[in-house]
Amino acid sequence: MSTPAGRTIQTRGNGRWSPPPPGTRSAEQIRQDIVQQRHEFSRSVDALRTRWVQVTDVKRQIREHRTELAVGAAVVGFVVGGLVALRRRR
């Protein structure tokens, strides 16, 4: 995996970052990595916040899933209606 600065980051088999062996990086390289990690963390938090706002926006969800909601309401209506009709027959 490479960084925006063109450096290569070591990753394990699962794609996660793994640090280089101790004593192989300078203090400046460590500072640069910290700055980069903070930037990536900030972007991740911003993306998560944006997604959270989208998912929890009920009006937007209703607008985007109007057909699914109508079908679901019709199915629930038929089931409830059928149960009520069955109980009245007894």
- 């063109």: which residue's tokens? 6
DSSP output for 2-24: B-TTSPBPPB-TTS-B-PPPTTS
Q: Per residue in 7-41, pLDDT tens?
A: 556 666 677 777 778 888 888 998 999 999 999 99
The pLDDT score that the predictor gives to residue 8 is: 59
Q: Which of helix, strand or coil describes residue 57?
A: coil
- Check residues 49 and 7 and name the one with the higher pLDDT: 49
pTM greater than 0.75 (yes/no): no
> Residue 40 and residue 34: Cα distance in Å, rounded?
10
The pLDDT score that the predictor gives to residue 88 is: 87
The pLDDT score that the predictor gives to residue 48 is: 97
- Check residues 68 and 17 and name the one with the higher pLDDT: 68
